[in-house]
Amino acid sequence: MEYLKWSSEGSVAVITLERPPANALSNGLLRELSAVLDEVEPNRELRVVVIHGEGRFFSAGADIKEFTTVGSSDDFSKLGSFGQDLFDRMEKFPKPIIAAIHGAALGGGLELAMACHIRLVSETAKLGLPELQLGLIPGFAGTQRLPRYVGVARAAEMMFTSEPITGLEAVQFGLANHAYPEAEVLEQALKLANKIAKKSPVAIKAAIELVNYAKTKEFYEGTKREAELFGQVFGSNDAKEGIQAFIEKRVPNFKGE
């Protein structure tokens, strides 16, 4: 593994995102995450998964520089569909997945966290979907999952302004389960994981399946449309300007075209 590592602590699989400095979600990292899930799923000894980030962040988002290597709008739509499929698999994974979030979970990082069953955050963590700042939109089902947790109005504000919320606000708004001082987040996640691991795997698997019935037909229609628009928006001049401005560390000049 080049971008992450994983180990087992008793009945808990601990996956660590390890792509400094920001644990950006590159295509390679996502594929490695999928490969780890392939290993963990059939292992009867492992009953719960914890995901956290090495260094300063959980994950500060997608790899924007990698976006410059993506070819057509259709390729970008396929990238969105791949991320959506992986995160949908996580949400349906037969073993609970807990995100231990510190520093920042932004863009794709928040979309990854929202695909987990439970989210624990540091009190000062920053959570948000800032893609519109770059002339882009979320592409890994963020436009569909965020409203489910915080409501349509607040999700709209978070996306339209690109401004993140704190860990404490995330708990208040229903996006996260609990907030802790940063040094305690992983410890608390492992404590919770071990508590859950004592439950019947048969019952846990059934509960996960039933919880997912709350995802409506409209949710899947929304994610499909999101992937399409993800590609269309990427093909705009505004997106090219936003990405270039990010790389050049300047304010973008969007013209609506």
**Hey, which residues are catalytic here?**
111, 131
Cα–Cα distances in angstroms (integers) from residue 4 to residues 13, 126, 212, in the given order = 13, 22, 27
**6 sits in which H/E element:** strand 4-9
CA distance 98 to 225: 28
Q: Which residues sit opposite 106 in a β-bridge?
A: 128
Per DSSP, what are the bridge partners of residue 99? 51, 119
Instruction: Output the CA–CA distances (angstroms, integers) from residue 250 to 107, 240, 241, 244, 246, in the order listed.
Output: 19, 13, 10, 9, 6
Tokens encoding 153: 């109005």
What is the rounded distance in angstroms from the CA atom of residue 225 to the CA atom of residue 144? 10
Residue whose token pair is 């997106």: 239
CA atoms of 126 and 84, how far apart (whole Å): 22
3-state secondary structure 36-48: HHHHHCCCCCCCE
